[in-house]
Amino acid sequence: MAIEVRIPTILRTYTDGAKQVEGTGSTLGELFTDLDQRHGGLRERLVDNGGLRRFVNVYLNDEDVRFLAGLDTPVKDGDTVTVLPAVAGGATVS
Amino acid sequence: MLTIPRALYDKIVAHARADHPDEACGVIAGPAGRDRPERFIAMTNAERSPTFYRFDSAEQFRVWREMDDNDEEPVVIYHSHTATEAYPSRTDVSYASEPQAHYVLVSTRDEDTAEFRSYRIVDGVVTEEPVSVVE
């Protein structure tokens, strides 16, 4: 058993094109560190200064982890983590 | 070049007009790899702002999963600028992360004429493309 992680197109360069990879850990932060062992560089695209990058949305099953505990969100075998690029922008710099 | 049916073009402009002066945003999905916009999906601007937009994250999760289940992809990602020209801002470029998508910008600054333009944004480089509206 492991945690399934769904990777968006833009980050599949880090997973040899795979849409889905697996990892382990007891929190989301640990899971990302584990993934980075096999998919070097992936973690840096997700995490910045100890928090989630604002350019990505990360979901545990179907919940946005920003509304859970961010990188400290507990994860367990059988969970699915989905990464999506945040879609945002606008006329001026926020 | 973006080739888009008239009915979908009109829906984007109507959404932008309806939400003015806030920015409107949404997606047109189409079969993966075919570059054909087909299914119009107006999205909620979670920011409800005249100068910024962000897809509501829960809604985006549902819509993206639906596209995945249907073997679709976001062919068009659109939003409006309500007081400035229809050209990607630095913020737009920094967030752009769907290299296969046509980024459509509509400006509603003029009450009578909507400015409708399309771009590719890949690795921070903006390239404008012609728009062909088909009946």
Task: State how far residue B3 is from chain A, nearest Cα, in angstroms.
Answer: 22
Structurally, chain B folds into a number of domains equal to 1
pLDDT recorded at residue A9: 87
Round the average pLDDT of chain A to a whole number and report it. Answer: 94
Reduced DSSP (H G I as helix, E B as strand, rest coil) percent helix, strand, coil of chain A, to 5: 30, 30, 40
- In B1-135, DSSP assigns E strands to 2-5, 25-31, 39-43, 53-54, 72-81, 102-107, 115-122, 125-129, 131-134
B55-64: average pLDDT: 97
Residue B74 and residue B98 in contact, taking contact as beta carbons nearer than 8 Å: yes
Looking at residue B111, which CATH number applies to its domain? 3.40.140.10
Task: State how far residue B128 is from chain A, nearest Cα, in angstroms.
Answer: 17
For residue A94, name the pLDDT band (cuts at 50, 70, 90): very low
For residue B95, the enclosing domain spans 2-134
pTM of the model: 0.92
Question: Shortest CB distance from B92 goes to which of A9, A82, A89?
Answer: A89
Task: State how far residue B134 is from chain A, nearest Cα, in angstroms.
Answer: 27
For residue B49, name the pLDDT band (cuts at 50, 70, 90): very high
CA dist., res. B60 & res. B38, Å (int): 18
Structural domains for chain A: 3-85 (3.10.20.30)
CA dist., res. B70 & res. B18, Å (int): 29
Question: Shortest CB distance from B23 goes to which of A57, A90, A93?
Answer: A90
Using an 8 Å CB-CB cutoff, list residues of chain B that contact chain A: 23, 25, 43, 47, 49-55, 57-58, 60-61, 64-65, 77, 79, 81-84, 88-100
